[in-house]
Amino acid sequence: MKRSMIITAGIFYFASLVTNADAQNTAPASNRFEIPEPLMVKYLGTQDDYLIFRVEIKTADTKHSTFTIEDAIEGELYSNPIYTTSKYQVLKIEKRENQVLDFKLVSARKVYLITYTTDSNDKLFQKGLAVL
């Protein structure tokens, strides 16, 4: 009986060592942080002949920030200086075949670019975020 208690206590002690080692290798959630991207663009869908996007901008540099949308064929569709640290906007853009739209934020001497393209089947593709 005494021996089984010692073995059981040893197993619990070993299990607590393994758990503590794992806890030390993994930072607690309260110490982790993720830096949010300053530009987030989400495609919401279509409405008639328009593409609908939700744009969210979070920037610390309000004096030197500009948001633009450019079309590969039409050129600049929209341009606006950013005067607040957070901006949320829903935009409608006329839909065309083989369209390339660049959503660009210039802030703190960096350029954040998200590109959407449409194909001949009216499917929309996001090419991801580039920081230049």
Q: Looking at the chain, list the stretches that DSSP marks H as alpha helix, in order from N- to C-terminal side.
A: 2-25
User: In the structure encoding, which two tokens stand for residue 6, read together?
Assistant: 């010692």
Distance CA 18, CA 20 (A): 5
Model confidence at 105, pLDDT cuts 50, 70, 90, reads very high
Residue 85 has a pLDDT of: 85
pTM recorded for the entire structure: 0.68
pLDDT tens digits along 17-60: 444 444 444 444 444 444 468 999 999 998 988 999 999 999 87
Residue 68 has a pLDDT of: 96
DSSP code for 44: E
Residue 129 has a pLDDT of: 67
Residue 37 has a pLDDT of: 80
Mean pLDDT of the chain: 75
- Flag whether pLDDT at 89 surpasses 80: yes
Q: How many residues does the chain have?
A: 132
